[in-house]
Structure 1
Amino acid sequence: MNIKDLELFITVAKLGSFSKAAKALEMRRALVSRRIADLEIQLGAPLFTRTTRVMALTDSGKRYLAQITPLVSQLNHAGDVFKHRHDNVQGKLRIGLQPFVDKLIDKHIANFVHNYPQVQLEVFIVPGQHQDIKRLNLDCMINAGEVSKGNISKQKLMTFERKMYASSLYLEKSSVIETIDDLHYHSLLGYRNAEGVLEHHWHFQHTNVTANYKIICSDYNSLYHFCLGGAGITLLPQIIAIDAVENQQLINVLPELSAGFTDINIFSPKDAALSGVAKVFIEHLCEMVN
């Protein structure tokens, strides 16, 4: 059981709201809700009662809160003993981030800088090609999908699912979408990956669509903003669309369909040993994200 989840539970219990806890911790509300639900599954009991107006601790939740609050406090104080070791981690670190990936982990990078004040960090926004590592002398690069060439090591950081989205503005002015075949009458926005490969077909669980694009982009940030502006329908990582969906700016079109899952990986040169700073950075990211 992760101490971060216990700290999250304590914060939700204190503030009495997923939304307030999410705001206080600078997290997405949906992520807060999911992690609390996962904790309840692990414990085998509900911690909160949820209604449309009120959220309160259950009896089990009250007992659990009373038990873990002093324990979490003790664990945090115990960790203070080792904080001076962070000062021993020092040096320069050069990392590359693919567009849109930076927005997923920027808070974790900021936390790393705070915890390791002797590290000088230089960040490059890169397309995500294997040449970027050598060209910019990067310690590591974080991007979605694979790096097809080069002597590169890979470590999985997280996974995201892609689904179809359109803005409410676009859908109000367009024909109704009831089946996958209706997409042929709509403006589609396409993605070309870092290796230059265009996604000619949208593959779903039991079918696929040949896509004739109005706009083609090489990064998800651009797709997101074009979609948000009403340019058409596109496939987006659910993790970057979730806030706009909650705010009803984007609509998940045919939500039963999924275009599959993609990993976000940390890549580093295989022919060169990772520096101590790079190792600590990668360990930090993996711990924070998971």
Structure 2
Amino acid sequence: MRALNDLRLFVQAADLGGLSAAARRLDLSPAVASAALKRLEAELGSPLFVRSTRSLRLTAEGERFLPHARDALASLDVGTRELREEHAGLAGALRISAPSDVGRHTLLPWLDAFQQAHPRLQLHVQLTDRLADVYRQPVDVVLRYGPPPDSSLVALPLAPWNRRVLCASPEYLAREGALASPLALPGRNCLRFKLGEDLHAHWQFVAPDGTSHAVAVEGDRSSDDGEVVRRWALAGLGIAYKSWLDVAGDIAHARLRVLCGDWRGEASPLNLVIPDRRLITPAVQALRGFLQSRLEAVPRP
């Protein structure tokens, strides 16, 4: 632990610009702080600071070593927190963002059960389909369909098998008739989803013979909220192209019916996205395992 304390002193001295200030921050005497810094420099075989009577400036070697020291201490802090949480049980706040539709109808009851199992954990849940807003806010985990928008984010698979399905209400089908294939969608009222500024107006399918098709669709309604599109479909106002996880319950209870089931819809894998792999805390690990166990019980499309 002495070596780690020496490392922490080095980082504090670099951040505060002085050894005396770092010593005060860490509640050390100036003599102990000076000895710790000399010990670290001797172990590394390189001077880390240029000292003067008025300032402390990093050497070139110190500049190169500083980011590695920060990473080592950050990793240590994460490990320490994990061990403490394992002994004390999950506690603290867990901030979760999820899509509006699957969030309301599937995730919320699951999170109730998760919190009952971990009563000292505080859950803060945001349900939105506006992705541009999500990643600007402080969240611990983001549940999202498809890959994250930034390659620096870490995506942990939850339901890689999920895909989109065509669906409509029994009332709509009784009124407008069945659909022979997705190629017959033009001319039907399609309920379209808008992600940001992008209107989902071309629906992708793979035919039974393996060929791919992009079908241009039109309709009198579109929304940037997936829950709104689902409600329109339930009301018999048109055909929707929804993630299976959004409508699995409606299909199981015959509120909606799958159309053209021999055609395969666009892949829509559900991922748990975190800002950094070092932020996979015990609470995040527990949530991922819990959600995976629940998703295993969901019928596959």
- Shift of residue 106 of structure 1? 2.7
- Which residue number corresponds to residue 223 of structure 2? 217
Residue deviations 1:129-151 (CA, integer Å, cap 9, x gap)? 2652442x111111212321373
Among candidates 238, 253, 259, match of residue 259 of structure 2: 253
- Shift of residue 271 of structure 1? 7.8
Counterpart Cα distance in 1 of 2:262 and 2:223: 25
Among candidates 259, 267, 274, match of residue 273 of structure 2: 267
- Which residue number corresponds to residue 183 of structure 1? 185
- Which residue number corresponds to residue 243 of structure 1? 249
Residue deviations 1:194-232 (CA, integer Å, cap 9, x gap)? x43222211111333111232112233211110110111
Residue deviations 1:25-59 (CA, integer Å, cap 9, x gap)? xxxxxxxxxxxxxxxxxxxxxxxxxxxxxxxxxxx
Among candidates 163, 166, 170, match of residue 165 of structure 2: 163
Matches within 5 A, 1:94-105: 94-102=95-103, 103-105=105-107
Give the secondary structure class of the aligned counterpart of 1:178.
coil
Task: Identify if the C-alpha distance between structure 1 residues 190 and 138 changes in structure 2 by more than 3 Å, giving closer, same or farther.
Answer: same
Counterpart Cα distance in 1 of 2:262 and 2:268: 18
Among candidates 218, 223, 226, match of residue 232 of structure 2: 226
Q: Normalising by the residue count of structure 1, what TM-score does the alignment of the two structures yield?
A: 0.62
Among candidates 276, 285, 299, match of residue 279 of structure 1: 285
Task: Identify if the C-alpha distance between structure 1 residues 128 and 272 changes in structure 2 by more than 3 Å, giving closer, same or farther.
Answer: farther
- Shift of residue 233 of structure 1? 0.8
Counterpart Cα distance in 2 of 1:164 and 1:171: 12
Unaligned runs of at least 5 residues, structure 1: 1-83
> Contact 2:165/2:241 (CA < 8 Å) preserved in 1?
yes
Residue deviations 1:160-213 (CA, integer Å, cap 9, x gap)? 2211111122222225533444322211111223x4322221111133311123
For 1:92, give the aligned amino acid. Answer: A
Q: Normalising by the residue count of structure 2, what TM-score does the alignment of the two structures yield?
A: 0.60
For 1:139, give the aligned amino acid. Answer: D
- Which residue number corresponds to residue 113 of structure 2? 111
Matches within 5 A, 1:1-290: 87-102=88-103, 103-127=105-129, 129=131, 131-135=133-137, 137-149=138-150, 151-158=152-159, 159-193=161-195, 195-205=196-206, 206=211, 207-270=213-276, 273-290=279-296
Give the secondary structure class of the aligned counterpart of 1:245.
helix
Bigger shift: residues 142-151 or 182-191 = 142-151
Aligned residues: 205
Bigger shift: residues 256-265 or 104-113 = 104-113
- Shift of residue 238 of structure 1? 2.6
Give the secondary structure class of the aligned counterpart of 2:110.
helix
Counterpart Cα distance in 2 of 1:86 and 1:187: 56
For 1:143, give the aligned amino acid. Answer: R
Counterpart Cα distance in 1 of 2:172 and 2:204: 23
Residue deviations 1:108-128 (CA, integer Å, cap 9, x gap)? 322221111111111111335
> Contact 1:94/1:121 (CA < 8 Å) preserved in 2?
yes
Where does structure 1 differ by over 4 angstroms across 4 or more consecutive aligned residues?
84-87
> Contact 1:128/1:141 (CA < 8 Å) preserved in 2?
no
Task: Identify if the C-alpha distance between structure 1 residues 250 and 278 changes in structure 2 by more than 3 Å, giving closer, same or farther.
Answer: closer
Counterpart Cα distance in 2 of 1:286 and 1:265: 11
Task: Identify if the C-alpha distance between structure 1 residues 186 and 86 changes in structure 2 by more than 3 Å, giving closer, same or farther.
Answer: farther
For 2:242, give the aligned amino acid. Answer: L
Task: Identify if the C-alpha distance between structure 1 residues 243 and 90 changes in structure 2 by more than 3 Å, giving closer, same or farther.
Answer: closer
* CA RMSD, Structure 1 to Structure 2 (Å): 2.6
Task: Identify if the C-alpha distance between structure 1 residues 130 and 278 changes in structure 2 by more than 3 Å, giving closer, same or farther.
Answer: farther
- Shift of residue 284 of structure 1? 3.2
Kindly, what percent of the aligned residue pairs are identical?
17
Counterpart Cα distance in 2 of 1:214 and 1:225: 15
Counterpart Cα distance in 2 of 1:186 and 1:244: 21
